[in-house]
Structure 1
Amino acid sequence: MHRSTSRPSERTPLLTASTESLASETSTAVESIPTSPTANDFALVNKISRTDLIWVLAGLWSAVFLGALDGTIVATLLSPIGSYFNESNRSSYIGTSYLLSVCCFTPLYGRLSDILGRKGAMLLALSLFGSGTLLCGLAPSMDSLIAARAIAGMGGGGVMTVSSIAVTDLIPLRQRGLYQGMTNILFGLGAGLGGPLGGWMNDTFGWRSAFLLQMPILAFSFFLVILKVNIKLPEEVRNQSLHTKLRRIDFFGSLTLVGTVGCLLLGLSLKSTEELPWSHILIWGLLVASLVFCIFFVLVESYWAPYPVMPMRLVTQRTPLAVSLSNFFGSAAAFSMLYNVPLYFSAVRLNSSTDAGLHLLPHSVAISTGSVFAGWVMRKTGKLYGLTLVSCALTVIAATMVAMWNENTSNFHLWVDIAPQGLGMASVITTTLIAMIASVGKEDLAVATGITYLFRTTGQVLGVSLSGALLQAILTNKLRERIQCPDAAEIIEAIRHSTSIIPDLSEPLRKAAVDSYDDALRVVFICQAALNFICLLCCIPIQENPLPGTHEEQEEVYRTRRNTISEANDVESAQ
């Protein structure tokens, strides 16, 4: 058989890459790929009617909506909860414990959905999330509330991941981006309603009611998943005994992954929230522990685990690696901006909290618009590479414009400059998820989705933590330069911990505080622009793979890819 030996271009699909390249990248994967026709065609088995699809999406997306609603409800309730327990200094741990659990357990659901099935994994996620939320509403102390939020996070990390995997099973890849856009609209709607609803529930019925209110929505999603989500896995997986399925769980890999992510995020969170120095034994001890866990994790995944939770052969491939890194850097920049732009209007422009929050409205609208637009473009053209790069460029432009804000910047720019960030990042997150799905085989689809969400959520937490630490370091230095009166230390501490006191300061102190926040935030915004530029660079290696428009076309692509890999492996064996 004649084979072309020409070098593939930068955007050449993996499907047409050279036999030798395919063999070297995937020889270890072939051994674990199912060989029965049922495994290749199970997406065709999962074709359902339009009515059933609507009910399935209602069950999955109501859980996504609830997860977003919960996040902003809790953010609104941090102050009332802290005051209720008389432990306001520890209220930030309510959010930190949830985010740590989400980051640690998100990637595990990719493999669990292959073992327990999509329904089983989703029910597990909803059960943990629901149990944690109910315990939050009944918590007798701050410690128990923090623990309950950690339990909720164990499930919250799976809701988005399993929902995305299930929709991918049911929707042809070319239309998948549009559905992801609709998912993001619901997520944005939940996030937008959570704040006002949480505040109203707290004022009317008390903060516990805001947690208990979520239980009916959770029950609705739970029962719809039980009744309607009946996605069939390949026959050889369905016929395995429970013991065999449990053996597929990568316990050592999961443990070391949780240790790696958990120690890293906990160390950085403590550095930011407790304002401990980097030399503190707790901070560097956690960072060293994270490094040790990371080394063990790589060794376990490379040489020990038969069914790794994060296959190294997958992470080191070109497109999955590029997608993972772009999601990490892009999410870090996006969440840093989301948290620091309102701070700019509160501390530098001295606007009220309501006005500061309103400046995020164009960003929220742009997120929904960008995600749906990206899905529509992919559906119409079947292409994503050019759209991804243009979207990344928008985020760089937006971050650069925000970094140039000064006292002479017009109101038009203060309202509009942040919008391209939301538009571009929503598009990037949508297109890169589809690029990841299109670049892997059916057997790796669930795990690859979990990896994407892991890098995304880790980037979100690190973006907030590191930008907060950078901001405080520069702010403290600038305030010490500008304020040198007898009680300077107390004034500086008060300014750092609350922006609400700045308007009430004397003119010289107010100017010193505003200028110091302005200088610190400008550095943070410049770093955001740099992160967005790195995200753009990471997107360049992404390959343009086919986006099938029907289930039949999609299965043909998977079948062709599998045959190509098998032939490549045969050639390598013969040599």
Structure 2
Amino acid sequence: MSFTQESEGPLATTYSSIAPQLNTDEEAQIYVGKSWPEKHRIFLIETALFTNVFLSGFDSTITASIYQLIGDEFEDVKIASWITTAYLVTCTSFQPLYGSFSDTLGRRKCMFFANSIFALGCLGCGLSTDIFTLILMRAVTGIGGGGLITLSTIVNSDIISPEKRGIYQSFQNILVGTGAVIGASSGGSIAAIFGWKWCFLVQVPISIAGTVFAYLFVQDQPNHTHVAGIERWKKIDFSGAFLLIIGLTAQLIFLTDASSSAGKGLEVLDWKSLAFLFLSIASLVLFAYVEKTTSAHPIIPHHLLGGSTNSILIIGFFVGFVAYAYLFTLPLYFQVVAGDTAAQAGLRLAIPAFCTPIGGLIMGISMKQTRRLPALLIGGIALMFFGNVCFLFINKSTPGWLKFLLLIPANIGQGITFPSTLFSFLFAFSVRKQATATAALYLFRSIGCVWGVAGSSSLVQTLVSRGLKKGLKDLASEEEISRLLIKLSQNTSIIRKLRPEIRDVVIASYKTGIRGVFLLSIALSLIALVLSVRAKQNITEQKAENIAAIERRISF
């Protein structure tokens, strides 16, 4: 296998495993005397990469329709959202690190590490006997999960020629979206038929197969040179990574405590919750300082944060929040308000959710004309806004076919918006800054996803608490309402066993809380839409050579 290299400076290197423009006879001569694996090396590598990206999408959403079920089983619903947020925190924190780690240590070692940790975490989740062990193993899974898509994209840039990368990346996007859709829609069915543990155990053999393929066929990048001793570790921003992990983790603990306090009917946060909030703020401030002064390769270089690009990063945060608040609040609505089982809720989301990869495909085809990018960004966010508005018209009497139609716009919008925000950010920088720019956008979007899960859970608990105190004041004492709130924070399935007049108030309170989340999402979508219109001028004014260079080297 031959590799060709083209360079535009020390940080702008692109590798290709496909020699330029070989004719049929020359290609046949290259493969003479080679074994089947050598002849089909690209296919075997892509099998490992596509397995990884599918699992990344599948695992990131598998808990969408079962976290409530798991919380009910362990009688601890108030922290059930941590099953997802623990994964998102570690995945978000470690995702930007795999780029610098793989540059220093090599692609093969890092990919083997990420795959192995991911498989180990899934196995640990399936063997967990309490919710705290499950949350811990979800965090372990996220450490490996952070490298699945990142390293797949990096390896593709090493082995696929620039003119063909778009084709491979399109398949990758479809598999990520398909995995996410299958995870969100099948989780409830798997849990109902086999038990929720199999939602994690089913991923283990698939992950092991991907790990074996990656270990056997993925090689280090062509320009990789082994640096012995401590010098190679000096290039990695460990202090920044540590502060980022501490900051995000403390932030999530604060949100969970706020949700727990709301679920118990408490109006004031205790000093421990506020301590985590201050720790989060302090850690993230120190992280920003370290990124500006470190001699290592920073996770988020300070030159990326400033000027017109800030609006794209804010859009990335908002659309991440809206997408995950939508994804994790809908099952709660169908299970608590509509009275569906976890399996039924998953099936209601299945077909509309398949529109997310369709949106990504629309984006991929449309991006052949780069002048369409501003319209795609605006159109994608507008569809997310419209989709969240559509939810407000869903009620128990809404026909099934109409519910299906009302859930489609937000999913298509997400499929268009995610890659268009990435390209809008990348177009602001030269080619040699693409890797760090990509990491920055992914980080802001992932933080938005974390807030979308934890923040929406806290808001629902708060509004439910207020609704019950107001609606039950003539039906129950304050002490009885407080006990009910505690029971609901542990297990929502008790709603079906309540007296009809109390059950109606509880369901109405949950409906109000869920509508509150969607109203917040509508507001954030509207802000993102305004920012996208503002960013349109900045996108269209970029230099033509930067856009052309990105088209050759970067795919979404």
State the TM-score, normalizing by the size of structure 2: 0.80
Q: Distance in 1 between matches of 2:107 and 2:54?
A: 19
What amino acid does structure 2 have at the position aligned with 1:336?
Answer: A
Tell me the equivalent position of 2:251: 264
| 1:119 maps onto 2:108 in alignment | yes
Q: Distance in 2 between matches of 1:451 and 1:95?
A: 22
What amino acid does structure 2 have at the position aligned with 1:294?
Answer: L
Is the 8 Å Cα contact of residues 42 and 232 (structure 1) preserved in structure 2? no
| 1:289 maps onto 2:282 in alignment | no
Tell me the equivalent position of 2:516: 523
Q: Distance in 1 between matches of 2:84 and 2:50?
A: 23
What amino acid does structure 1 have at the position aligned with 2:539?
Answer: Q
Is the 8 Å Cα contact of residues 271 and 283 (structure 1) preserved in structure 2? yes
Q: Distance in 1 between matches of 2:60 and 2:260?
A: 19
Could you say what secondary structure the match of 1:543 adopts?
A: helix
Tell me the equivalent position of 1:23: none
Q: Distance in 1 between matches of 2:200 and 2:128?
A: 11
Q: Distance in 1 between matches of 2:211 and 2:434?
A: 24
| 1:132 maps onto 2:121 in alignment | yes
- How much does 1:117 deviate? 3.4
Say which of 264, 269, 274 aligns to 1:279: 269
Q: Distance in 1 between matches of 2:120 and 2:132?
A: 16
Say which of 535, 539, 543 aligns to 1:543: 539
User: Which stretch has the larger CA shift, 41-50 or 477-486?
Assistant: 41-50
Kindly provide the CA deviation profile for residues 511-560 of structure 1, in whole angstroms up to 9, marking residues without a partner as x.
Answer: 323433333322221111111122223334252455999999837x9xxx
- How much does 1:126 deviate? 1.4
Say which of 175, 198, 218 aligns to 2:207: 218
Structure 2 counterparts to residues 194-205 of structure 1, below 5 A: 194=183
Q: Distance in 1 between matches of 2:81 and 2:136?
A: 13
User: Which stretch has the larger CA shift, 429-438 or 176-185?
Assistant: 176-185
Distance 1:158 1:316, change over 3 A: farther
What amino acid does structure 2 have at the position aligned with 1:70?
Answer: D
Is the 8 Å Cα contact of residues 161 and 449 (structure 1) preserved in structure 2? no
| 1:314 maps onto 2:289 in alignment | no
- How much does 1:80 deviate? 7.9
- How much does 1:504 deviate? 5.3
Could you say what secondary structure the match of 1:379 adopts?
A: coil
| 1:452 maps onto 2:448 in alignment | no
Say which of 270, 295, 298 aligns to 1:305: 295
User: Which stretch has the larger CA shift, 180-189 or 369-378?
Assistant: 180-189
Distance 1:173 1:317, change over 3 A: farther
- How much does 1:204 deviate? 7.7
Q: Distance in 1 between matches of 2:126 and 2:336?
A: 34
Q: Distance in 1 between matches of 2:491 and 2:545?
A: 50
- How much does 1:177 deviate? 6.0
Q: Distance in 1 between matches of 2:216 and 2:428?
A: 32
Q: Distance in 1 between matches of 2:329 and 2:299?
A: 34
What amino acid does structure 2 have at the position aligned with 1:516?
Answer: S
Say which of 434, 449, 462 aligns to 2:451: 462
| 1:43 maps onto 2:36 in alignment | no
Q: Distance in 2 between matches of 1:458 and 1:70?
A: 17
Distance 1:359 1:286, change over 3 A: same
Is the 8 Å Cα contact of residues 384 and 525 (structure 2) preserved in structure 1? yes
Tell me the equivalent position of 1:27: none
Q: Distance in 2 between matches of 1:374 and 1:464?
A: 26
- How much does 1:95 deviate? 3.5
| 1:185 maps onto 2:174 in alignment | yes
Q: Distance in 2 between matches of 1:114 and 1:427?
A: 31
Q: Distance in 2 between matches of 1:42 and 1:186?
A: 27
Tell me the equivalent position of 1:379: 368
- How much does 1:90 deviate? 6.1
Distance 1:437 1:163, change over 3 A: farther
Gaps of 5+ in 1: 1-34, 558-575
- How much does 1:408 deviate? 6.9
Is the 8 Å Cα contact of residues 181 and 430 (structure 1) preserved in structure 2? no
What amino acid does structure 2 have at the position aligned with 1:518?
Answer: K
Distance 1:108 1:57, change over 3 A: same
Kindly provide the CA deviation profile for residues 156-189 of structure 1, in whole angstroms up to 9, marking residues without a partner as x.
Answer: 1121222233334555778766644432432343
Kindly provide the CA deviation profile for residues 373-406 of structure 1, in whole angstroms up to 9, marking residues without a partner as x.
Answer: 1111113556422111111111112222223445
Could you say what secondary structure the match of 2:230 adopts?
A: helix
Tell me the equivalent position of 2:410: 421
Is the 8 Å Cα contact of residues 175 and 379 (structure 1) preserved in structure 2? no
Kindly provide the CA deviation profile for residues 423-460 of structure 1, in whole angstroms up to 9, marking residues without a partner as x.
Answer: 01111111222334444344433332222222222111
Distance 1:532 1:168, change over 3 A: farther
Say which of 232, 239, 242 aligns to 1:252: 239
Is the 8 Å Cα contact of residues 178 and 376 (structure 1) preserved in structure 2? no
State the aligned residue count. Answer: 520
Q: Distance in 1 between matches of 2:452 and 2:382?
A: 19
Q: Distance in 1 between matches of 2:87 and 2:500?
A: 41
| 1:554 maps onto 2:552 in alignment | yes
User: Which stretch has the larger CA shift, 44-53 or 434-443?
Assistant: 44-53
| 1:68 maps onto 2:64 in alignment | no
Q: Distance in 2 between matches of 1:95 and 1:265?
A: 11
Distance 1:364 1:85, change over 3 A: closer
State the TM-score, normalizing by the size of structure 1: 0.78
Distance 1:178 1:478, change over 3 A: farther
Kindly provide the CA deviation profile for residues 326-377 of structure 1, in whole angstroms up to 9, marking residues without a partner as x.
Answer: 2210010111111222333333344444443333234312101101111111
Is the 8 Å Cα contact of residues 188 and 346 (structure 2) preserved in structure 1? no
User: Which stretch has the larger CA shift, 117-126 or 162-171?
Assistant: 162-171
User: Which stretch has the larger CA shift, 428-437 or 507-516?
Assistant: 507-516
Is the 8 Å Cα contact of residues 237 and 294 (structure 2) preserved in structure 1? no
Structure 2 counterparts to residues 96-111 of structure 1, below 5 A: 96-111=85-100
Tell me the equivalent position of 1:20: none
Say which of 474, 478, 497 aligns to 2:467: 478
Q: Distance in 1 between matches of 2:343 and 2:189?
A: 15
Q: Distance in 1 between matches of 2:394 and 2:64?
A: 27
Tell me the equivalent position of 2:421: 432
Distance 1:525 1:91, change over 3 A: closer
- How much does 1:210 deviate? 5.4
Tell me the equivalent position of 1:403: 392
Could you say what secondary structure the match of 1:310 adopts?
A: coil
Kindly provide the CA deviation profile for residues 435-488 of structure 1, in whole angstroms up to 9, marking residues without a partner as x.
Answer: 344443444333322222222221112112111211221222122211122355
Is the 8 Å Cα contact of residues 64 and 328 (structure 2) preserved in structure 1? no
What amino acid does structure 2 have at the position aligned with 1:520?
Answer: G
User: Which stretch has the larger CA shift, 414-423 or 544-553?
Assistant: 544-553
Distance 1:463 1:348, change over 3 A: same
Gaps of 5+ in 2: 1-5, 20-26, 28-38
What amino acid does structure 2 have at the position aligned with 1:400?
Answer: V
Q: Distance in 2 between matches of 1:79 and 1:533?
A: 29
Is the 8 Å Cα contact of residues 65 and 345 (structure 2) preserved in structure 1? no
Is the 8 Å Cα contact of residues 110 and 448 (structure 1) preserved in structure 2? no
Distance 1:334 1:312, change over 3 A: same
Distance 1:270 1:86, change over 3 A: closer
The sequence identity of aligned pairs, in percent, is: 29
Could you say what secondary structure the match of 1:230 adopts?
A: coil
Q: Distance in 2 between matches of 1:171 and 1:548?
A: 20
User: Which stretch has the larger CA shift, 99-108 or 543-552?
Assistant: 543-552
